[in-house]
Amino acid sequence: MQQINSKNEQQINHPDIRNVIDKYKGVSTEEIKRDIKSNSLPFSVLMFNLVHDFNFGSVIRSANALGAREVFYFGEKRFDRRGAVGTYNYIDVNYLASYADFLCLKNRYSLVGLEQSSRSVPLNKFNWATDLQPLILIGEENLGLSSDVLDICDHIIEIPQRGSVRSINAAVAASICMFDFISKYEE
């Protein structure tokens, strides 16, 4: 087996080394972004106060893969783009600088908080049909969504769990919710 000795040789043999599916090989980033946006599904995701770069990157990657319209994030921590493996180039990722910016989203979206609470509905029983497209709100793993955020949510959902842990990874939970939305939306 011949070994590739330099980056130049690798680029000659594989000129498009971006992490994109075959139909996007050789296509510009802007063309990919336009195509993805035109084929996106009517949902978006908002990350509240996430602190781990793994979660930021994984939520953005899943949102891209599952067809979200856009991603928002709120909190002091800015994300390290490396964890998103370039997928932030193909989906709109918007930083909300204030709580007021978040409140403005209520006019565009049905707010669906992911949290275990007395108001939550098990995800497998939740009907995503709403007047506005859903914005899935994901909170930081230890603290979850704050009570003031939960108070303005149109819906609160939870992922039924059978194990011993109180919650699962924020990015995994977000991905499960996104997949549940698209599977029910496409029925």
Q: What is the pLDDT of residue 132?
A: 83
pLDDT band of residue 2 (cuts 50, 70, 90) is: very low
Q: What is the pLDDT of residue 52?
A: 67
Mean pLDDT of 163-175: 88
Q: pLDDT by residue (tens digit) across 15-69?
A: 555 666 667 778 888 898 899 899 999 999 999 887 766 778 889 889 999 999 9
Amino acid at 62: S
Q: Max CA-CA distance within the chain?
A: 61
Q: What percent of the chain has pLDDT over 70?
A: 80
Q: Enumerate residues 6+ apart whose C-beta is below 8 A from 1.
A: none
CATH architecture of residue range(s) 29-185:
3-Layer(aba) Sandwich (3.40)
> With DSSP H G I counted as helix, E B as strand and the rest as coil, what are the percentages for the chain, rounded to 5?
40, 20, 40
Residue ranges covered by each domain of the chain: 29-185
Contact 157, 120 (CB under 8 A): yes
Residue that is written with structure tokens 């991905």 in the block: 175
